[in-house]
Amino acid sequence: MLDIKKIRNDFPILSREVNNKPLIYFDNAATSQKPISVINSLTEFYSKYNSNVHRGVHTLSMESTDLFEEARNRVAKFINSKNSESIIWTRNSTEGINLVSNSWGRKNIQPGDEILVTAMEHHSNLVPWQILADINKAKLVILPINNDGTLNLDEIDTFINSKTKIVSAVHMSNSLGTINPIQELCSKAHKVGAKFMLDGAQSVPHIPTDVADIDCDFLVFSGHKMLGPTGIGVLYVKPEILEEMDPFLTGGEMVLEVSYEKAKWNELPMKFEAGTPNIADAIALGEAIVYLENIGMQNIRNHEIELTEYALSKFKSLDKLTLFGPLDPLIRGGILSFHSEDIHPHDIGTFLDHEGIAIRTGHHCTMPLIRSLNIPATSRASFYIYNTKDEIDYFINTLGNAIRYFTDVK
């Protein structure tokens, strides 16, 4: 059991009001709130250590380099990467996927090859592959889903075949909450000699992640969804693949030696980090990881299973709503996406906002998926460590009021 009261006290924003009501923050799949230790880390860096990294010989530069690399080590340990050279700082998951599709993809994908993604991918794990397939004359294949929002694996051996060169799949769907059987996908990919890329944007903040155990070749995630600041993300790449990859962005920091004619790349991971990196936010992400580790990722997962189970049972009291995604909380993250035939999600979102509740409405950057459900958009509530059953009660009650408000005929 988490000490939620203590946790909530660490998040200054949770004590504010919205529309004269206590804030209930259920938009964690979009971005999480930040604990005071992360906020203080940013102030402390700019107050005491601000300096560029890997360049100067002065004290500030050496101190900031140490803090920056310590954060990288923390990330490596957090996902059980054996070495920190496999950890490349990016802005977010999107940039990580673009780095892989542009660097590894353009070099290794041949005409006629297949790239497999699932039907529940975020635009960030779809559009870069569409572009790569177009440029390299490869085929982008979509693995379909079942009605319950799980992957349809009936013909997985047809979908992952000898032409498949990379399988890139989301671990936890941001629209449906589905947790995919990534181990199975990864081992199927490896069996045909394909690489496996994991989009961990929604899972790494909520589920223990072990890259050695999963055996994925690439993993991406974003700092801002796991208590860290915006503008910092992580790409993990298996060392042997990283060695053979060409740089994505080029310029300063990523070079060892430059003449007017040519350049020699810097060692890993700097080879993939052109320009001055986002130093302060990387260090603050390290603090976020310390916070998460102090609570324990399995404890966080257990808390969210409990909240999801509770919310799913409470949803049954509401009619006129369709809930998407699997109903088993063990294969579902703390994400509830729903739709009403009678009320547009934006009206639900506006109504809840007036009662202090923040949810997301729209297509959640999964437009093809939402269209396949034959609806324009969904409303989505998503939970994190600081959310409570009391908040879910208030949310369900307010949602009931919203339905009555918009559908009761005078």
Partner 1 sequence: MSNSIDQIYDEIILDHCKNPRNNRKIHKPNIICKAVNSFCGDEVNIEIKLSSKKIITLTGSKSLGCAINQASSSMLSEVLYGKSIEEVFNLYNIFNCMMKENTVPKKASEQLGYLKNLKIIKKNPIRIKCCLLPWTALINEIEKI
The catalytic site residues sit at 365
- Residue with smaller CB distance to partner 1, 324 or 351: 351
Give the residues across from 123 on adjacent strands.
Answer: none
CA dist 243 and 152 (Å) reads: 35
In 87-126, where does DSSP find H-type helix? 93-100, 106-108
| Residue 236: Cβ within 10 Å count | 25
- Residue with smaller CB distance to partner 1, 322 or 407: 407
CA dist 252 and 269 (Å) reads: 13
Short-list 58, 87, 66, 57, CA closest to 75: 87
Give the residues across from 233 on adjacent strands.
Answer: 90, 222
- Residue with smaller CB distance to partner 1, 86 or 361: 361
Min dist. Cβ of residue 359 to partner 1 (A):
14
- Residue with smaller CB distance to partner 1, 195 or 360: 360
Min dist. Cβ of residue 372 to partner 1 (A):
14
Min dist. Cβ of residue 373 to partner 1 (A):
12
| Residue 251: Cβ within 10 Å count | 12
Min dist. Cβ of residue 82 to partner 1 (A):
44
How distant, in Å, are the alpha carbons of 19, 70, 72, 208 from that of 77? Answer: 42, 11, 9, 12
- Residue with smaller CB distance to partner 1, 29 or 352: 352
Query: Rounded to 5 degrees, what angle do the CA atoms 325, 328, 333 make?
Result: 65
**Residue holding tokens 């690399």?**
69
Residues forming contacts to partner 1 in the complex (CB under 8 A) are 19-20, 343-347, 350-351, 354-355, 362-363, 375-377, 401, 405-407, 409-410
CA dist 392 and 311 (Å) reads: 6
Question: How far, rounded to the nearest angstrom, does the alpha carbon of residue 106 sit from its chain's CA centroid?
Answer: 24
Read off φ and ψ for residue 336, nearest 5 degrees: -120, 115
Min dist. Cβ of residue 341 to partner 1 (A):
11
